[in-house]
Amino acid sequence: MDCLFCKIINKELPAKIIYEDEKYLAFLDINPITAGHTLLILKDHVDNFTHLSDQQAADLASMIHKIAPKIIEILGADAYNLGINNGAAAGQIIDHVHWHIIPRYSDDALVHWSCDNQAKEQLDNVFSKLENKL
Ligand code: AMP
Ligand code: ZN
């Protein structure tokens, strides 16, 4: 399969692997947003978060809950962001589910998300679409 992350799993491509077991791999992002930016992946090839089974999603969340605080503690970071870019419009480039762990430092240069005024105008409309539908 022509998947860059499967190639890393199969050791056909090098990566700075910081954790590995039979189901998961965590390695440093080659273009880090902050120091310690890490990707956690499942060894099973699943293209995006929507296509994970309930069990895979739960297991992945459990693993991120386990390793993210350790990364932050070891690196002496102050906080962390977690993120999954799901789909091209959301910025997903690699079609193998990966969870970004982004250590944050009180003096880092990352900007916070900001409010979009057009989205704010749609709050009532969006609420009426979603309320009690999930
Ligand atoms: P996304 O935009 O969510 O699909 O994120 C893909 C991430 O993979 C980006 O942050 C890239 O910097 C990272 N990346 C791409 N190729 C490699 C690689 N060979 N080793 C480590 N990280 C990579
Ligand atoms: Zn893959």
Task: Report d(CA 109, CA 58) in Å as an integer.
Answer: 32
- What pTM value is reported for the model? 0.96
Pocket residues: Cβ below 6 A from ligand 1: 4, 13, 15, 27, 29-31, 39, 85, 91-94
Residue tagged 């056909």 (tokens) = 12
- Condensed to tens digits (0 to 9), the pLDDT of residues 32-53 reads 999 999 999 999 999 999 999 9
pLDDT band at 1 (very low <50, low <70, confident <90, very high): confident
Mean pLDDT to the nearest integer, 23-32? 98
Residue 95: φ, ψ to 5°: -85, 55
Beta bridge partners of 9: none
- Condensed to tens digits (0 to 9), the pLDDT of residues 74-101 reads 999 999 999 999 999 999 999 999 999 9
Q: Which two tokens stand for residue 114?
A: 């900001």
**CA of 89 relative to ligand 1 center, distance in Å:** 16
Q: Which domains does the chain have, with CATH numbers?
A: 4-109 (3.30.428.10)
pLDDT band at 31 (very low <50, low <70, confident <90, very high): very high
Length of the chain measured in residues:
134
pLDDT band at 15 (very low <50, low <70, confident <90, very high): very high
